[in-house]
């Protein structure tokens, strides 16, 4: 159920105060501190019970509330309901406050609120206080009008309130200003807006709860929570980039399915991830890349009738706030405080298992959509002209480089500092190990949308002291054609999703002609893209599959996307998938096609894990998850996206075993974890006809100074290719480790199979790995 202060009510209260007393400037404390833990993996924080100042204050307010009236507000179906207010004037002692830090902070004289708005002409702080008396006052609202002559420093509005409760207060802002759309303003004082610096956000309590689809979102804080216990022996994994094996996953989808076997209260939660860490360890990965975990509204598509109003946003690429963890990933509707605590528990447990945590972050746009059908919750109503890129030549309409209706104005100084503060918060408060930035090319655009050669934000992230230990990974393109793969401004720090690796590997393995040279370049670490200045092979994040696009199973089962269920007429999702259905579109019982598809999936996985660079795989590919040809499944909170634990169990001795063994083989062989690009002494290409357009076979040997050479061959022809094997190093012989044409467990034998002779017959659409051993 939603937080009681967010429910509809019959009563609302308005207080209009103008601050006039000077507040002493005091050192502020962060609005969310570390928490602790107990039963079910959770130890709920103990609230401060000493003293009754906050309660006395609230009781005093209640006794003075003589003019309260009760007129139930009608629910607004198409627009978010604004809290109703009545006229009461309690005595609430307050001070002008201080401009920094932004957001909510605790100072000696009370609770300080500070918000930036350059173009606002009027700001009201709106408060929903907890009911601590005998009467029901769940939704009573106070409004405190900030005097621009007293409560404003530069472009920052601020106020300090004495004796405000230290927790369980919800807050937002009403902001007014110029109404000229042609000037870029979108002020609407009827809306209560979320503080961009709110560290916690309260909304509906349960994911996908359609009974509360119009629940509003408000900031909250808790200064009563005790420090989180990271443990005496806790330490960060600090895994070298060259050693990373990334696993892209969705927190909710990982355990929400009934097949997970978890208690329904923790399915789809941060705690659910903890319960399933043993699977990650068995698979062998050492870093998870979590799809967005910042607060988002999963029911945003259902706010008005439209072709997509049956969808639930399960991916989360629609950020409401950049500081608050997704509250509905807390267990059993626990809300934002428990979400914060349980997120820390998840990070702590993953780190204890030697697994790093990398967040997929979305700073290129927000949930607030476009000018045609806006969903104003924060930035748009606070200062649209600052927070978003505008087309000054088209009535100051929102520019759309993100494909989602708006584009965050990332290189504006104020917005840039907001992003940096957000990143630092996740590193300091939650101990995350790095970030993958969605559509990072947007972050390389100036305030007018034009590309920048040296984007200030990109440089600041690379040079920031707090972020210096973090992995920073770019998705180096956007939805307006700014494709920067291999050209991303990097300061020798940024890694990149290597989109060219994905495309070239897919095209070669499926059997396209003329791809052998490109395939070799990608396997060798894409030196054509990354061998510049001090960049390393691991700055290229290699992937065949990611969350957007086909799963690995679907890549070998569908020639075409099948996205009708998305409500966009099949116009969404990429058309350039470089997929091959192996002879039949979709699911089939034909054993020959099933066998070919299995080989192809193993071929893709093997080449990914032996390539120079940082490999990344997608959750579910380890058992062959299918989305039935949907290559853009962002809106389906169903088995299309949910991890199917029963299918994993069925594949444990076959498909999963191969995937796991290959990952572990990579991690134990330094030939695949190089810090420098391959030289002629490091690799021998067994190829003397690179210009043969029809050749779909490639073999090469990686040389080890200790004699443990590795021979690899990939055959994308539809016929056998018999090859003469090179002579192994002195006193060694070739052992067959992998042959994707063989059935499990012979398809991968970690210790190798000896006596394979001087030639090898490589089957159609298969690959082999041989190791030189004593």
Percent of the chain with pLDDT over 70: 87
If you write DSSP's letter for every residue of 511-529 in order, what string do you get? T-TT-HHHHHHHHTT-HHH
- Confidence at 688, pLDDT banded by 50, 70, 90: confident
C-beta of residue 410 within 8 angstroms of C-beta of residue 402 = no
- Would you state the pLDDT for residue 140? 64
Pairing of strands 390-391, 397-398: antiparallel
User: H or E element: which one contains 201?
Assistant: strand 200-202
Catalytic pick from 475, 504, 621, 637?
475
Tell me what the mean pLDDT of segment 275-287 comes to. 98
- Would you state the pLDDT for residue 286? 98
- Residue with the bigger pLDDT between 455 and 28: it is 455
Structure tokens at 193: 């807006």
37 pLDDT above the threshold of 70: no
Helices (H), 584-652: 591-610, 645-650
- Residue with the bigger pLDDT between 49 and 609: it is 609
∠ Cα 482 486 490 (to 5°): 90
C-beta of residue 639 within 8 angstroms of C-beta of residue 569 = no
C-beta of residue 539 within 8 angstroms of C-beta of residue 531 = no
Which has the closest alpha carbon to 171: 135, 205, 124?
A: 124
Please state the pTM of the whole predicted model: 0.89
179 pLDDT above the threshold of 60: yes
To the query of whether residue 755 is one of the catalytic residues in this protein, the response is no
Tell me what the mean pLDDT of segment 400-410 comes to. 98
pLDDT averaged over the chain?
A: 89
- Would you state the pLDDT for residue 131? 67
C-beta of residue 471 within 8 angstroms of C-beta of residue 495 = yes
675 pLDDT above the threshold of 80: yes
- Confidence at 91, pLDDT banded by 50, 70, 90: low
Tell me what the mean pLDDT of segment 581-592 comes to. 98
Distance CA 465, CA 725 (A): 51
3-state DSSP assignment of residue 608: helix
pLDDT digits (tens, 9 = 90+) for 335-385: 999 999 999 999 999 999 999 999 999 999 999 999 999 999 999 999 999
- Confidence at 130, pLDDT banded by 50, 70, 90: confident
- Would you state the pLDDT for residue 68? 28
Tell me what the mean pLDDT of segment 256-279 comes to. 98
- Would you state the pLDDT for residue 284? 98
- Confidence at 92, pLDDT banded by 50, 70, 90: confident
**Could you give the count of Cα atoms lying within 13 Å of 410 in the half-sphere of its Cβ?**
33
Catalytic pick from 297, 345, 438, 747?
438
pLDDT digits (tens, 9 = 90+) for 183-231: 999 999 999 999 999 999 999 999 999 999 999 999 999 999 999 999 9
Percent composition of the chain: helix, strand, coil (DSSP 3-state, to 5): 25, 20, 55
To the query of whether residue 475 is one of the catalytic residues in this protein, the response is yes
Percent of the chain with pLDDT over 90: 86
Distance CA 491, CA 489 (A): 6
């Amino acid at each position: 159920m939603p937080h009681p202060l967010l429910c509809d009510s019959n009563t609302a209260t308005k207080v209009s105060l103008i601050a006039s007393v000077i507040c002493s400037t005091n050192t502020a404390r962060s609005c969310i501190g570390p928490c602790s833990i107990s039963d079910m993996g959770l130890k709920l924080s103990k609230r401060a019970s000493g003293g009754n100042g906050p309660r006395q204050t609230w009781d005093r307010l209640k006794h003075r509330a003589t003019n309260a009236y009760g007129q139930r507000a009608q629910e607004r179906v198409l627009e978010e309901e604004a809290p109703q207010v009545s006229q009461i004037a309690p005595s609430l002692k307050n001070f002008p406050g201080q401009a920094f830090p932004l957001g909510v902070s605790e100072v000696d004289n009370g609770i300080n609120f500070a918000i930036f708005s350059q173009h606002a002409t009027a700001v009201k702080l709106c408060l929903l206080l907890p009911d601590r008396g005998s009467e029901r006052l769940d939704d009573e609202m106070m409004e405190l009008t900030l005097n621009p002559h007293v409560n404003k420093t530069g472009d920052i509005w601020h106020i300090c309130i004495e004796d405000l409760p230290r927790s369980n207060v919800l807050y937002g802002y009403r902001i007014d200003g110029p109404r000229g759309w042609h000037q870029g303003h979108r002020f609407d004082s009827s809306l209560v807006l979320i503080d961009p610096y709110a560290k916690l956000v309260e909304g509906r309590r349960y994911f996908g709860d359609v009974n509360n689809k119009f629940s509003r979102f408000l900031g909250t804080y808790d200064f009563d929570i005790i420090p989180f216990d990271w443990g005496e022996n806790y330490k960060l994994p600090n895994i070298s980039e060259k050693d990373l094996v990334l696993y892209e996953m969705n927190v909710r989808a990982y355990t929400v399915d009934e097949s997970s076997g978890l208690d329904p209260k923790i399915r789809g939660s941060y705690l659910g991830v903890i319960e399933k860490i043993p699977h990650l360890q068995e698979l062998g990965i050492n870093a998870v890349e979590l799809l967005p975990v910042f607060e988002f509204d999963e029911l945003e598509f259902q706010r008005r009738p439209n072709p997509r109003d049956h969808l639930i946003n399960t991916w989360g690429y629609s950020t409401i706030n950049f500081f608050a963890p997704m509250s509905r990933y807390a267990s059993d509707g626990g809300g934002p405080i428990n979400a914060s605590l349980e997120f820390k528990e998840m990070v702590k447990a993953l780190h204890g298992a030697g697994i790093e945590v990398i967040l997929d972050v979305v700073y290129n746009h927000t949930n607030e959509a476009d000018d045609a059908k806006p969903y104003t919750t924060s930035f748009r109503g606070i200062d649209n002209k600052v927070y978003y890129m505008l087309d000054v030549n088209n009535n100051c309409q929102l520019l759309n480089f993100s494909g989602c209706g708006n584009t965050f104005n990332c290189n504006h100084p104020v917005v840039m500092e907001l992003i940096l503060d957000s990143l630092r918060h996740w590193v300091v408060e939650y101990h995350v190990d790095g970030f993958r930035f969605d559509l990072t090319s947007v972050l390389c655009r100036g305030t007018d949308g034009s590309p920048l050669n040296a984007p200030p934000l990109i440089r600041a992230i690379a040079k920031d002291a707090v972020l210096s230990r973090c992995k920073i990974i770019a998705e180096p393109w956007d939805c307006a054609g700014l494709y920067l793969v291999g050209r991303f401004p990097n300061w020798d720090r940024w890694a990149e999703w290597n989109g060219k690796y994905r495309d070239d590997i897919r095209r070669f393995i499926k059997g396209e002609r003329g791809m052998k040279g490109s395939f070799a370049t990608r396997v060798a670490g894409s030196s054509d893209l990354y061998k510049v200045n001090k960049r390393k092979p691991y700055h290229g994040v290699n992937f065949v599959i990611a969350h957007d696009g086909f799963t690995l199973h679907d890549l070998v089962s569908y020639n075409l996307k099948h996205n009708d269920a998305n409500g966009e007429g099949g116009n969404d999702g990429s058309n350039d998938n470089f997929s091959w259905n192996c002879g039949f579109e979709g699911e089939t019982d034909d054993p020959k096609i099933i066998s070919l598809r299995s080989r192809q999936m193993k071929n893709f996985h093997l080449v990914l894990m032996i390539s120079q660079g940082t490999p990344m795989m997608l959750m579910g590919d380890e058992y062959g998850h299918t989305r039935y040809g949907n290559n853009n499944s962002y809106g389906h909170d169903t088995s299309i996206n949910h991890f199917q634990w029963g299918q994993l169990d069925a594949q444990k001795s076959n498909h999963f075993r191969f995937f796991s063994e290959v990952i572990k083989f990579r991690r134990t062989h330094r030939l695949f974890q190089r810090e420098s690009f391959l030289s002629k002494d490091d690799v021998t290409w067994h190829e003397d006809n690179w210009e043969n357009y029809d050749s779909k076979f490639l073999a090469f040997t990686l040389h080890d100074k200790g004699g443990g050479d590795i021979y690899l061959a990939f055959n994308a022809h539809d016929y056998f290719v018999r090859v003469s094997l090179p002579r192994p190093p002195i006193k060694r012989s070739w052992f067959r480790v992998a042959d994707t044409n063989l059935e499990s467990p012979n398809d991968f034998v970690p210790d190798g199979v000896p006596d394979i002779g001087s030639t090898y017959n490589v089957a159609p659409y298969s690959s082999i790995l041989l190791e030189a051993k004593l």
